[in-house]
Structure 1
Amino acid sequence: MRQRLSLFSLVVALCLMPTAVLATPHTVPLSELFPDPGQTKAAIVINKVLERYHYRKVTLDNAFAKDVLTRYLDDLDPNRAFFQARDVERFENGARHFDENLRRGELDVPFDIFRVYRMRVDERVAYALKLLDQQFDFSRSETYAFDSSETPWAKDSAELDDRWRRRVKNDYLTLKLADKSDSEIRDRLRKRYEGLARRIHQFNGGDVFQAFMNAYTGTIEPHTSYMSPSTSENFDISMKLSLEGIGAVLRADNEYTVVQSTVPGGPARDSGQVHAGDQIVGVAQGLDGSMEDVVGWRLEDVVEKIRGPKGSVVRLQIMPKSSGSTAHTREVPLVRNEIKLEDQAAKSYVVDKLSNGAGLKIGVIEIPAFYRDFEAESAGRSNFRSTTRDVRALIKTLTSEGVNGIVIDLRGNGGGSLAEATSLTGLFIDLGPVVQVKDAFGKVEVEADRDPGVAYAGPLAVLVDRESASASEIFAAAIQDYGRGLIIGEPTFGKGTVQTLIDLNRYVPGDHDDLGRLRLTMAEFFRISGGSTQLRGVEPDIRFPTAEYMTKHGERSLDNALPWTRIDPANFKKVGAVPFDRLGQLSADRIANNFGFKMLAERSKLMRDVEEQKSLSLRESDRRAEDDARERRFKDDQDRFLRSQGITPVDEDADQIDEDALDAQRDAISRIEVDEAARILADEIQLGRGSNAPRAVMRN
């Protein structure tokens, strides 16, 4: 299934705010679903801004307009569940001059498409409700294609009827496998389908315009999006309030709300039970509130359900990514809380029991985000918190403890302040460039470390994974290009573009309605060696085996992502070289017999298999066998690893859980990769390069 970034993931980007700012929804008559003059004006301005300022040069010609139309239809109906082939043919015939229409801001075609879409939703929901009055035979051998994004549009209503019969049957079977009663299943599904129609009826003209304009911007690349005036207002409120909520970035994927990432120090990440790729299928308030099914809901409505005041409880029904589209779910209670800067702060520890270490001690510095207290800095407080300041202090502590090398752990670090990525690099190199930034007009600026001296000059490694993005990639790339340290782990996310918010009202003089804002991609990051971090990310010097199964992840999985490219390298001088081949072979030999890495590799393979699956059996016995096999496959390798570490496995789904034992279990799993990174660094030291490195030098 193609991955897309939702506009509203911007609004909830770091948290889910406690203040309810969404208007109470109401049914919108079809007669109101027509474009207004303000939207026409906004469309003209958006096109001009995109053509002039977007990093990827945009020409609104006939070919591009056709792509926009295709994208809009796919966004409305990604699973080909509502429109018929004849509908699409009519839309395409009516859009023969779509490029000219859009250039003039004429929006009749997208609004007409949405009105038809709403009618088709009503038809399908009525049919689904009718199916709920029937019985289902789960002994038949047939399948349900839950990902039909590449399937041709249905040729007639009979073909759509069959797709919906299988869909409703699958929805019923999924709940049946979760041990729900017949009456409970039918009631829940009835509410789900009626809710789908109700939410589509709540779309107003502004919602339709925003949906279309995001199909327009998404045709260019995935990080450019339009914010309507109401969405802009929500965004402003979220930026002004403290980080209070569950600490999660959510996006819409077909009819599901998916966790895109979790925030360091937030309740979601701290729970250890909410992960990127998990689907939120239900939301309940308090410790005993009833669970409300949210499959098929608009993302904004799910967010509003999850919002709440600090200290209150929200319960999420999660379908883990590892379970695929089966019945396995877990209920996760979270206490909404303020996410403070210190919760995201870097921290350190020492690894001193290395099988290959011969008494060596390796310091580990975990950096969950690139943070900087801009408010305290602007207020003139000299002791404001920042990643660089905290890491400098940690380096001083580790060197005083006599560590022989340091591992910087950037796993799961989604980025943050560019200034911090630059200054952090400066702790490990002397004066020099760190990253190049090229804007839409071809101008290249170099961000450089201008502070002489280093804070640490000893053996260094950087541990990254598929979730390390943006600022993390800038830091890792600079360390790699300088030859300052080893990069270990998985290829990183590949987010190498820069966005800015543009107020569209500034381009239209005089009094007029609010036109909203555009989040625009206007620059790209390039390594000092010349290659971009975009799309490919940073390739580690030593790959862990989990990387083998990364087929669709990060920027690589997004529609219309900007390609990798390169510019001239900056003027810099390498400071070292590392014997990657020898170190890689030593690591591979250890990993081959490591139960922990066998477990992680099996998990990655399982995730890949889940992502590539497009259909499910509708025979109950097959589904139960498939579900049980997947769960056994996931659990057996984990239990084997834990027992090898002298840890008794904890069942996370049990009614009574020993939290201390569960924390020990999670900590052991999180240490698998970092412990091997420490062993690799110990190998480097013992091979000689590290022992000849200059002594650590501290600077004030």
Structure 2
Amino acid sequence: MTFRPLLVLLMALSVTVTASAQSAADMGAAKPRKVSELPLQPNGSEADAALISAHLLTRFHYDAQPLDDAMSQKIYALYFKLLDGEKVFFTQEDMAKFAQYRDKFDDAIWNKDLSGPFTIFNQYILRAIDRMTYARSLLKQGFDFNTTDTYNIDRKNADWPKDKAELDDLWRKRTMNDWLRLKLAGKSDDEIRKTLDKRYSSYIDRVKQLDSEDAFQTFMTAYANSTDPHTDYMGPRAAENFDITMKLSLEGIGAVLQARDDYTQIRELVPAGPAAKSGKIHVGDLVLGVGQGATGPVTDVVGWRLDDVVNLIRGKKDTTVRLEIVPADQGQDGKHEMVTLVRQKVAIEEQAAKKKVIEITDGGVSRKIGVIELPMFYSDFGARSEGDKNFKSATRDVAKLLGELKAEGVQGVVVDLRNNGGGSLYEANELTGLFIDKGPVVQVRDARGQVQVQGDDDPGMSWSGPLAVLVNRGTASASEIFSAAIQDYGRGLIIGTPTFGKGTVQTLIDLDKFASDPSSNPNYGALKMTVQEFFRINGGSTQLRGVTPDILYPTNGDEKDFGESTYDNALPWTQIAPADYKPVADMKAYLPQLQQMHEARDTKSPAWQLMLDEIAEYKKLSDRTSISLNYDQRQAERKQLDTIQADFRARHKTIDGNDAAEADEDSQLDDGLNPSERSLKSELKEQADAKKAPDPQLQETAHILFDAIGLINANPKLAAEVLPYGGKQGDSQSVATTDGPASLPSATVEPGASSAPAPATSTAH
């Protein structure tokens, strides 16, 4: 899940970034990248980082492969997929010239000569600017939409255009489609021309800000991802952001920023952070300048890349930063204000575990079902190793929430792991321990074939009652470890759609530790490298196959484009001997009854049938590979879609009867705009509406658990089969937390007499 085309990188320059911790020295060195000087040139530091990465990948990777001509060809193919995955910038004539590099990328790394990859990247910049300039030129005369032309919107398997004439025709159709989308949304020709000219001009500005760091990041991503889909190179900033994500805290002002045109805008304030507590910073404010300390000069940041602005605002706890802002309600020409803030440690609660209670009433019986939503398996390894008793941990948070849910009288618990992409392997193991007495949780095999069994050694459970785990295609890695263990033990019901299928473990390696002269303060970044594969305690792997739920929900069709099986170089499925474990219950004892009750209910459920109809419409639209450029045909299609969505809205209103059904009708159809072209207010409203929207899958999962509790209560013999340990344990108050310092699991790899660097963090991310 690491593949990021360069187009996505350019889009990321105008989306959310959190201002967080960075050294004062780095902040002082930040420079604006308004326009980069071409051609971009590699530097010695980047060549060193590439060589160090190659030594690590060819010796210590779980599936170590030589960096030779064969690997060079893989890197070459992925490099161009990252640069021009839609095949809209380069032509076949270009590719014929680039072919000389196909088997030379291995030499480029070993010989510390990155001129080849940089030559290609420089050509990409020139071609991207040229294409956007050509698109702008087409806006002057407009378009005739009385045509039979079609535009191919799925170019993954398309050929590169033969020559410039074919490329020009492709861009004519792309620009024509951009115009037509806005026209169908009711925009006038003048409004369309202004919107698209600004869009293409802004894209050119972002391309011109690309620098050697971007070129190197893209090339090294191609190399890392060519070894396996989850090995990745991270530049210094990416490595720091990864660390922030894992520990869910940062040192900064507590604001989420986004780029809008030439400005940096406050998108969100973190509760209790310095910015929010000041009362002087508000959502929508524009940041025009940043000053360090109480009296340092203010640097004008208008026109800067977002990551450079964030780099200036970042800083250590208890240091001062000053922001020159224009309040949101005054517009770009409003009166400037200076706000002084003291940076502090800020908790990022958005990705932390959360709870709620769903009350289900059926047949005159009401039961409370607790829900714990866990977006990722986070852990502040640094704070834990330093003995901080308040270190951030998914397991500690969930244990606390379970205690609160028990106090609220819930009779069953749903752990919602939908779209949980993983995180700490250690946390997945510890979290499983909250729901089992003790025993193995996961088996981990290293590159030498040695298998280590990890598990819960602490007796007792935080929750021993009825349990369900809700999963989907976005449930991956550490989430699959937890789900598989719960399923293998028979500890609870797994409900939803088949999971992602990622069965590998990565470790994060600080490349600076391998510098020949550490005193030179190298800045090589980090390598997230696959070093192990994990297996279920039953001996099977989640690799490729994922976890198949006990009760299946309908899929939305994304599995053909999303999941481990979509990667060409994914590791194969294998199995090993089972661990020494015994199931604690047998879910098969009541699965047929629960399945029957689920199907009978959903056949009659208006909400479930509406969800099925919406999924069917989504599949129909996503399966399209081309669209017409004829105005009358597209307008007819839009009217048909509007009728369908109007019916969906009416059904939602009847079913939901709340504000979630009152979303702006205009937002239901394509408005032709990119996200950064919409007002922040409308973006935030859409986000809020999505959070308030009913969740039929979660509701149904709670109802299935409601049914399970009813069956258990009515049949002591069944209860003895499906409750853990025959229902004899009761709800133990013992909580498997790890207060104080603890030794961390090591993913050290030791082939022969050499050893891989011991990681700071082992993840199944």
Name the stretch that deviates more: 513-522 or 60-69. Answer: 513-522
Distance 1:603 1:437, change over 3 A: farther
Question: Once the two structures are superposed, what CA deviation does each residue of 1:64-103 show, in whole Å capped at 9, x if it has no partner?
Answer: 2112112112211122112111211121135454444443
The one of 672, 683, 691 equivalent to 2:719 is 691
Q: Specify the alignment match of 2:370 in structure 1.
A: 364
Q: Specify the alignment match of 1:256 in structure 2.
A: none
Name the stretch that deviates more: 2-11 or 152-161. Answer: 2-11
The AA in structure 1 aligned to 2:618 is: M
**Structure 1 residue 5: Cα displacement:** 7.5
Structure 1 length as normaliser, TM-score?
A: 0.78
The AA in structure 1 aligned to 2:367 is: K
**Does residue 1:175 correspond to 2:177, yes or no?**
no
Name the stretch that deviates more: 467-476 or 72-81. Answer: 467-476
The one of 703, 726, 730 equivalent to 1:676 is 703
Asked if the contact 2:5/2:81 (under 8 Å) is kept, the reply is no
Question: Once the two structures are superposed, what CA deviation does each residue of 1:658-689 show, in whole Å capped at 9, x if it has no partner?
Answer: 99x96996246575333333344246425666
Q: Specify the alignment match of 1:103 in structure 2.
A: 110
The AA in structure 1 aligned to 2:369 is: G
1:121 and 1:5 map into 2 onto residues whose CA distance is: 14
Q: Secondary structure at the match of 1:366?
A: strand
1:573 and 1:287 map into 2 onto residues whose CA distance is: 58
**Does residue 1:567 correspond to 2:571, yes or no?**
no
**Does residue 1:602 correspond to 2:613, yes or no?**
yes
Asked if the contact 1:28/1:204 (under 8 Å) is kept, the reply is yes
The one of 210, 213, 218 equivalent to 2:220 is 213
The one of 28, 31, 35 equivalent to 1:23 is 31
1:337-356 aligned at under 5 Å gives the runs 340-341=348-349, 344-355=352-363
2:52 and 2:244 map into 1 onto residues whose CA distance is: 25
Q: Secondary structure at the match of 2:612?
A: helix
Distance 1:223 1:247, change over 3 A: farther
Q: Specify the alignment match of 1:330 in structure 2.
A: none
2:114 and 2:558 map into 1 onto residues whose CA distance is: 43
Asked if the contact 1:139/1:620 (under 8 Å) is kept, the reply is yes
Q: Secondary structure at the match of 1:466?
A: coil
The one of 198, 202, 206 equivalent to 1:199 is 206
Asked if the contact 2:32/2:308 (under 8 Å) is kept, the reply is no
1:112 and 1:5 map into 2 onto residues whose CA distance is: 18
1:392 and 1:227 map into 2 onto residues whose CA distance is: 33
**Structure 1 residue 450: Cα displacement:** 0.6
The AA in structure 2 aligned to 1:41 is: D
Q: Secondary structure at the match of 2:162?
A: coil
Q: Secondary structure at the match of 1:222?
A: coil
Name the stretch that deviates more: 91-100 or 302-311. Answer: 302-311
**Does residue 1:652 correspond to 2:686, yes or no?**
no
Q: Secondary structure at the match of 2:592?
A: helix
2:165 and 2:46 map into 1 onto residues whose CA distance is: 38
2:305 and 2:206 map into 1 onto residues whose CA distance is: 9
1:391-410 aligned at under 5 Å gives the runs 391-392=398-399, 395=402, 404-410=411-417
1:34-53 aligned at under 5 Å gives the runs 34-53=41-60
The one of 558, 562, 571 equivalent to 1:553 is 562
1:489 and 1:118 map into 2 onto residues whose CA distance is: 44
2:168 and 2:77 map into 1 onto residues whose CA distance is: 23
**Does residue 1:241 correspond to 2:251, yes or no?**
yes
Asked if the contact 2:16/2:256 (under 8 Å) is kept, the reply is no
2:400 and 2:454 map into 1 onto residues whose CA distance is: 24
Q: Secondary structure at the match of 1:123?
A: helix
The one of 497, 505, 526 equivalent to 2:535 is 526
2:469 and 2:159 map into 1 onto residues whose CA distance is: 46
The one of 427, 432, 435 equivalent to 1:425 is 432
Q: Structure 2 stretches of 5 or more lacking a match?
A: 260-266, 273-281, 288-303, 314-322, 330-344, 667-680, 735-765
The one of 594, 616, 619 equivalent to 1:583 is 594
Q: How many residues align?
A: 638
- Aligned residues: CA RMSD: 4.4
The AA in structure 1 aligned to 2:18 is: L
Distance 1:61 1:382, change over 3 A: closer
1:603 and 1:210 map into 2 onto residues whose CA distance is: 39
Q: Specify the alignment match of 1:486 in structure 2.
A: 493
Q: Specify the alignment match of 1:142 in structure 2.
A: 149
Distance 1:134 1:172, change over 3 A: same
Q: Specify the alignment match of 2:138 in structure 1.
A: 131
The AA in structure 1 aligned to 2:489 is: Y
1:598 and 1:458 map into 2 onto residues whose CA distance is: 31
2:433 and 2:5 map into 1 onto residues whose CA distance is: 33
Asked if the contact 1:11/1:235 (under 8 Å) is kept, the reply is no
Distance 1:24 1:109, change over 3 A: same
Q: Secondary structure at the match of 2:18?
A: coil
Asked if the contact 1:495/1:534 (under 8 Å) is kept, the reply is yes
**Structure 1 residue 219: Cα displacement:** 1.8
**Structure 1 residue 144: Cα displacement:** 1.3
Asked if the contact 1:407/1:677 (under 8 Å) is kept, the reply is no
**Structure 1 residue 340: Cα displacement:** 4.4
Distance 1:232 1:366, change over 3 A: closer
1:641 and 1:85 map into 2 onto residues whose CA distance is: 50
**Structure 1 residue 481: Cα displacement:** 0.3
Question: Once the two structures are superposed, what CA deviation does each residue of 1:445-503 show, in whole Å capped at 9, x if it has no partner?
Answer: 22211111334433332222233333332221111001122111112233433322222
Structure 2 length as normaliser, TM-score?
A: 0.72
Q: Specify the alignment match of 2:160 in structure 1.
A: 153
1:117 and 1:374 map into 2 onto residues whose CA distance is: 40
Q: Specify the alignment match of 1:333 in structure 2.
A: none
**Structure 1 residue 390: Cα displacement:** 5.0
**Structure 1 residue 593: Cα displacement:** 2.2
The one of 148, 163, 171 equivalent to 1:164 is 171
Q: Secondary structure at the match of 1:361?
A: strand
Identical aligned pairs, as a percentage? 38
Q: Specify the alignment match of 2:762 in structure 1.
A: none
**Structure 1 residue 153: Cα displacement:** 1.3
Asked if the contact 1:549/1:605 (under 8 Å) is kept, the reply is no
Asked if the contact 2:5/2:85 (under 8 Å) is kept, the reply is no
Q: Secondary structure at the match of 1:219?
A: helix
